[in-house]
Amino acid sequence: MDPQQGRWTAELDGDFVVFLIGAVVHDPAVATEASGLLMAMTEMLDELEDDPDKGLLGYTRHGEPGAGVIVQYWRSFDALEGYARNPGARHAPVWRAWNRLASDDRRGAGIWHETFKVAAGNYEAIYQNMPVIGLQRAGRPLTVTEARDSASARMRS
Domains and CATH numbers, the chain: 4-11+122-156 (no CATH), 16-118 (3.30.70.100)
pLDDT of 58 reads 96
Residue 156, CA atoms < 13 Å, CB-side half-sphere: 7
pLDDT of 65 reads 61
pLDDT of 5 reads 93
pLDDT of 145 reads 86
User: CA–CA separation, 71 vs 115, rounded Å?
Assistant: 10
| Backbone torsions φ then ψ of 97, nearest 5 degrees | -65, -40
User: pLDDT tens-digit profile of 91-129?
Assistant: 988 888 877 766 655 567 778 899 999 999 999 999 999
Question: For residues 141 and 126, is the Cβ–Cβ distance under 8 A?
Answer: no
pLDDT of 129 reads 95
The 3-state secondary structure of the chain reads: CCCEEEEEEEECCCCEEEEEEEEEECCHHHHHHHHHHHHHHHHHHHHHHHCHHHCEEEEEEECCCCCCEEEEEECCHHHHHHHHHCCCCCHHHHHHHHHHHCCCCCCCEEEEEEEEEECCCCCCCCEEEECCCCHHHHCEEEECCHHHCCHHHHHHC
Low-confidence ranges of the chain (pLDDT < 70): 65-66, 101-107, 146-147, 156-157
pLDDT of 155 reads 78
pLDDT of 87 reads 92
**Cβ-count burial 6-33 (b if 16+ within 10 Å, e if not):** eebbbbbeeebbbbebbbebeeeebeeb
Cβ neighbours for 24, distance < 8 A, ≥ 6 positions apart: 66, 67, 109, 110
